[in-house]
Amino acid sequence: MTKTCGHSFSKSTLEDWLAHKQTCPTCNRPLRPEDVMPNYKLREAIAKYDAFTKYVQEQAKEKERVEQERRAKIKSKKEKLKKRLEEEDEAKKRLDEELKKKQEEDERKRAEGGQDAPVSKHFADSELDLRISRFEHYLNNPPSPTDSIIVGTAC
Ligand SMILES: [Zn+2]
């Protein structure tokens, strides 16, 4: 800072200037090297301003980092959900195909007359034969009143 007019400059700027010209760079008043003194208040203010600027920049960086982290989390969640939906679609497709195959197989069996039908028909026939033979036995050997319990269990 100059003692004569109060203008302020950085030390190196003013030293370079005074090496060529003995005036104030701003107002052009005569200035000798001994008219210059350090401006502590301005230095302090500049230091505070620099610290504040650094703080603001760091805050902005931190905010950006948090925002990016949040976006990454959302993206990852979306991708997981998409993958799960695809897996479920795939599972549903497999089940549909399996069901279709079974239905086709049933259809084919029905068309062929069915492999189960003869077996079940045979079973029904033999069941009927047994009932007929029992009935015939009943006709041929009518129960006496004392046999009623035995007949009851036989039928
Ligand atoms: Zn000046």
Q: How does pLDDT run across 103-154, given as a tens digit for each residue?
A: 888 888 888 875 555 555 666 677 778 888 888 887 887 766 665 555 555 4
Mean pLDDT of the chain: 85
Whole-angstrom distance, CA of residue 118 vs CA of residue 123? 8
How remote is the CA of residue 51 from the centroid of ligand 1, in Å?
A: 28
How remote is the CA of residue 4 from the centroid of ligand 1, in Å?
A: 7
Whole-angstrom distance, CA of residue 82 vs CA of residue 119? 50
Predicted pLDDT at 71: 96
The secondary element (H helix, E strand) that includes residue 51 is helix 40-111
Whole-angstrom distance, CA of residue 11 vs CA of residue 38? 8
Q: What percent of the chain has pLDDT over 90?
A: 49
How remote is the CA of residue 34 from the centroid of ligand 1, in Å?
A: 14
Quick: pLDDT tens for 59-90.
999 999 999 999 999 999 999 999 999 998 89
How remote is the CA of residue 50 from the centroid of ligand 1, in Å?
A: 25
